């Protein structure tokens, strides 16, 4: 049962991350795509899916984050929190135990998007 649930959550996560990547334009390459223990030190009881992509300095990345990604994610029911620092703009989106983090470098404009599903119990 958990395998089916995690598969459905992973599919939804892929769709959301790929949709956010498309808002920046250009080609993206996957950086991570697989399941992880939650928490990492407690192997085999709870798992989540993680999926991430990277884009090389798309034109207007900061503006796309502010004026396209933020409003679109809010419309899809995601809440957000600013996690930026001196090196990058970072917005963390969260909904139903899942999260998607969008990182835009302050210099160069490279974009990384990484998300994870909520944790689900493993099959007995």
Count CB neighbours of 91 within 10 A: 20
* Domains detected in the chain: 2-121 (3.30.2030.20)
Q: At which residue do the structure tokens 């991430």 appear?
A: 52
Cβ atoms of residues 120 and 48 within 8 Å: yes
Q: Is the pTM of this model over 0.85?
A: yes
Per-residue pLDDT 10s for the chain (124 aa) are 567 889 999 999 999 999 999 999 888 999 999 998 887 666 678 899 999 999 998 899 999 999 999 999 999 999 999 999 999 999 999 999 999 999 999 998 899 999 999 999 887 6
Dihedral sign, Cα of residue 14, residue 98, residue 85, residue 61 = positive
Could you tell me how far CA 87 lies from the centroid of its own chain? 19
């Amino acid at each position: 049962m958990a395998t089916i649930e995690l598969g459905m959550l992973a599919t939804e996560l892929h769709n959301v991350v790929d949709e956010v990547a498309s808002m920046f334009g250009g080609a993206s390459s996957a950086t991570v795509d697989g399941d992880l223990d939650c928490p990492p030190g407690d192997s085999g009881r709870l798992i989540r899916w993680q999926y991430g992509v990277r884009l090389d300095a798309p034109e207007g990345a900061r503006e796309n984050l502010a004026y396209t990604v933020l409003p679109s994610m809010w419309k899809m029911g995601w809440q957000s929190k600013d996690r930026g620092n001196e090196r990058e703009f970072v917005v963390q989106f969260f909904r139903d135990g899942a999260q998607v983090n969008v990182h835009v470098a302050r210099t160069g404009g490279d974009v990384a998007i990484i998300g994870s599903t909520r944790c689900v119990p493993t099959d007995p």
